[in-house]
């Protein structure tokens, strides 16, 4: 995949005032900034803290991967962002800033030439959410068989979004557009009249993707979109997806437990454990130089196709019981490098070296020296790598080597919206 677009990056204007209106976005402007998001299941004493203090930034055209075991809270996080979390889920804190053209009250297409605003999705009302949904943020779920309405035809499910958000389109225009969408994902347009049960698994997933792109959203959230498919179909669909991303320019929040997949397709990866984000890094950075023991364990859990033989060690212990989390760092019972401090104090997600990575571990950025496998040198970051670009490509050379608390992470910057880019 080419990176031609990314090489035109200009640094975002810094020191933006706290007003809500700003000019058209640059390539790397953040679209979605999640700060300190907390999500509980249930309420009161028995509440389970499914997501704790999560920070994420999703930039325009970026693929952000969210990796973690089952039950780590990654799906919860994604659904909470869009307020689609089912009962008894409750959002108990944080901010989800969404930068988008228009105030979010009208059903404008994302490409509209309107001044950009920032909306906190957690404060938005039902009408605002309804206008934004699918228009700006779309969702693709794991099992298309269950995500498609079995009694409606594919065409009906494609056109009803158009009818809801683009009232100016008439019936013929909608049908044409629906046909175009199917062609976009490689399905002949004459399948519009088919029902979900008449399509194969791969085709259904493609229909879901086509449906998600119907209104040309800015962000597509994909929750394990290919997990239920065979590897061959998985490959095909992912390639088509990346191709579409290049063409249409939307950002993807890709949730999966398959870290190896993310390393291939994601620009940035956030690793979650027990409801906390424990590491955020560029994909290549994470692969070559993991900083968190959990990330290291994950990487050692799948074999590489190339390179020397490496022992697969996996991660000892078992996933945590969310109702009784250990004190201090949640990972410490399974961590081969746990220190005394880890059993008592919870590490926060801290920015490292102004490289755009962040880690929540006492081994990094303090007086202790991390073990060599967690201190590997950063990979060479170049804008012309054949695979994909990382956000670190524009890291200014005068990056400091001192760990600084990243703005908008754990603590709050002095109210500057949007939060600043790394390093600038």
Q: Is the peptide bond before 246 cis (omega within 30 degrees of 0)?
A: no
Q: What is the closest distance, in whole angstroms, from the C-beta atom of residue 405 to other proteins in the complex? A: 9
Q: Is 87 an interacting residue with respect to other proteins (CB under 8 A)?
A: yes
Q: Is 134 an interacting residue with respect to other proteins (CB under 8 A)?
A: yes
Nearer of residues 90 and 114 to other proteins, judged by Cβ? 90
Q: Is 175 an interacting residue with respect to other proteins (CB under 8 A)?
A: no
Alpha carbon distance 66, 268 (integer Å): 9
Burial zone of 48 (CB within 10 Å; 0-12 exposed, 13-18 middle, 19+ buried)? middle
Which pair of tokens denotes residue 111? 């490409």
Nearer of residues 134 and 287 to other proteins, judged by Cβ? 134
Nearer of residues 156 and 189 to other proteins, judged by Cβ? 156
Find the binding residues for other proteins in span 237-296 (CB under 8 A): none
Alpha carbon distance 4, 230 (integer Å): 32
Instruction: Of 73, 79, 75, 83, give the one whose Cα is nearest residue 121.
Output: 83
End-to-end CA distance of the chain: 27
Give me the sign of the Cα torsion angle 377, 383, 385, 387.
Answer: positive
Q: Is 82 an interacting residue with respect to other proteins (CB under 8 A)?
A: yes
Q: What is the closest distance, in whole angstroms, from the C-beta atom of residue 241 to other proteins in the complex? A: 18
Reduced DSSP (H G I as helix, E B as strand, rest coil) percent helix, strand, coil of the chain, to 5: 30, 20, 50
Among 105, 117, 122, 233, binds other proteins (CB under 8 A): 122
- H-assigned helices in 18-125: 74-81
Query: Using an 8 Å Cβ cutoff, are 388 and 3 in contact?
Result: yes
Could you tell me which residues are beta bridge partners of residue 96?
34
Q: Which stretch binds other proteins (CB under 8 A): 81-89, 350-358, 365-373, 388-396?
A: 81-89
Q: Is 66 an interacting residue with respect to other proteins (CB under 8 A)?
A: no
Q: Is 93 an interacting residue with respect to other proteins (CB under 8 A)?
A: yes
Among 57, 148, 278, 352, binds other proteins (CB under 8 A): 148
Nearer of residues 227 and 385 to other proteins, judged by Cβ? 227
Among 11, 88, 317, 336, binds other proteins (CB under 8 A): 88
Q: Is the peptide bond before 88 cis (omega within 30 degrees of 0)?
A: yes
Q: Is 200 an interacting residue with respect to other proteins (CB under 8 A)?
A: no
User: Running DSSP on this structure, what letter comes out for residue 64?
Assistant: E
Q: Is 320 an interacting residue with respect to other proteins (CB under 8 A)?
A: no
Query: Using an 8 Å Cβ cutoff, are 392 and 424 in contact?
Result: no
Q: Is 48 an interacting residue with respect to other proteins (CB under 8 A)?
A: yes
Q: Is 227 an interacting residue with respect to other proteins (CB under 8 A)?
A: no
Q: Is 339 an interacting residue with respect to other proteins (CB under 8 A)?
A: no
Among 152, 173, 304, 375, binds other proteins (CB under 8 A): 152
């Amino acid at each position: 995949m080419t990176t031609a677009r990314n090489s035109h990056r200009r640094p975002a204007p810094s020191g933006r005032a706290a007003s809500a209106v700003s000019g058209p976005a640059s390539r790397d402007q953040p679209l979605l900034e999640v700060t300190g998001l907390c999500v509980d299941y249930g309420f009161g004493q028995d509440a389970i803290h499914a997501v704790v203090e999560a920070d994420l930034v999703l930039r325009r055209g970026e693929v952000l991967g969210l990796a973690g075991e089952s039950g780590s809270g990654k799906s919860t996080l994604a659904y909470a962002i869009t307020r689609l979390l089912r009962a008894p889920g409750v959002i108990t804190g944080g901010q989800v800033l969404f930068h988008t053209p228009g105030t979010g009250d009208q059903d404008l297409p994302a490409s509209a030439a309107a001044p950009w605003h920032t909306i906190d999705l957690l404060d938005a009302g039902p009408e605002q959410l309804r206008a934004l949904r699918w228009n700006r943020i779309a969702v693709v779920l794991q099992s298309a068989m269950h995500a498609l309405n079995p009694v409606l035809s594919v065409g009906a499910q494609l056109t009803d979004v158009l009818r809801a958000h683009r009232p100016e389109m008439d019936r013929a225009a909608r049908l044409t557009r629906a046909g175009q969408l199917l062609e976009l994902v490689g399905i002949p347009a004459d399948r519009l009249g088919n029902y979900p049960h008449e399509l194969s698994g791969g085709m259904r997933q493609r229909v879901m993707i086509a449906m998600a792109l119907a209104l040309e959203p800015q962000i597509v959230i994909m929750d394990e979109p290919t997990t239920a498919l065979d590897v061959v179909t998985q490959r095909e669909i992912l390639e088509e997806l990346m191709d579409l991303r290049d063409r249409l320019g939307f950002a993807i929040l890709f949730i999966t437990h398959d870290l190896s997949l993310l390393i291939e397709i994601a620009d940035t990866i956030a690793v979650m454990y027990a409801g906390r984000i424990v590491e955020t890094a560029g994909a290549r950075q994470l692969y070559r130089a993991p900083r968190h023991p959990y990330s290291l364990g994950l990487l050692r859990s799948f074999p590489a196709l190339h390179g020397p033989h490496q022992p697969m060690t996996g991660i000892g212990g078992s996933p945590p019981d969310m109702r009784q989390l250990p004190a201090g760092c949640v990972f410490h019972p399974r961590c081969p490098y746990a220190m005394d401090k880890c059993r008592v104090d919870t590490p926060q997600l801290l920015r490292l070296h102004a490289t755009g990575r962040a880690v929540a571990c006492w081994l990094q950025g303090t007086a202790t020296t991390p073990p060599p496998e967690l201190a590997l040198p950063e990979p060479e970051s170049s804008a012309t790598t054949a695979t994909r670009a990382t956000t670190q490509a524009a890291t200014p050379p005068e990056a400091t080597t001192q760990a600084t608390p990243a703005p908008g992470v754990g603590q709050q910057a002095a109210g500057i919206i949007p939060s600043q880019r790394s390093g600038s």
